[in-house]
Amino acid sequence: MANIAYDRKEQVQQIESGLLDGEQIIAVYDAVGTGTGFIGLTDRRVIIQDRSFVGKRHAITSIPYSKITSVSVVSNKSWGGTFFSTGAIAIHVGTHTYEVEFRGAQKSHHVHNVILHHIS
């Protein structure tokens, strides 16, 4: 875990338990707000824990980079303001959009750049 950026060790361990052969974790960040538990980035996919299911059920959703059509920074600032002033991103996959909010703008910046690197 020395080279992995993360907030909570147990979230890294949860992602590690589902890795494919040869897959490497880049980062695992705790999410804030309703519905999302955390986001994980590997060298092959984005992994999102979704806690919005009825009956306190959780889902782990894997999104291959090849299925992501775009990634957005979500902000309430104007273009003249700081681009990464908030800690939220939106990941667009077909007609579905996953929005993830973080504690700190650095995490949203890192997630945005990793995803953009893999989809470009």
Query: Range with the lowest mean pLDDT among 16-30, 65-79, 81-95?
Result: 81-95
Residue-range definition of the domain harbouring residue 94: 3-117
Q: How many domains does the chain have?
A: 1
Residue 37 pLDDT more than 70? yes
**Residue 25 in tokens:** 């974790």
Strands (E), the chain: 5-6, 25-30, 36-42, 45-53, 57-64, 70-74, 88-93, 96-101
Higher pLDDT, 115 or 1: 115
Residue 29 pLDDT more than 90? yes
Mean pLDDT over residues 91-118, rounded? 92
CATH of the domain at 89: 2.30.29.30
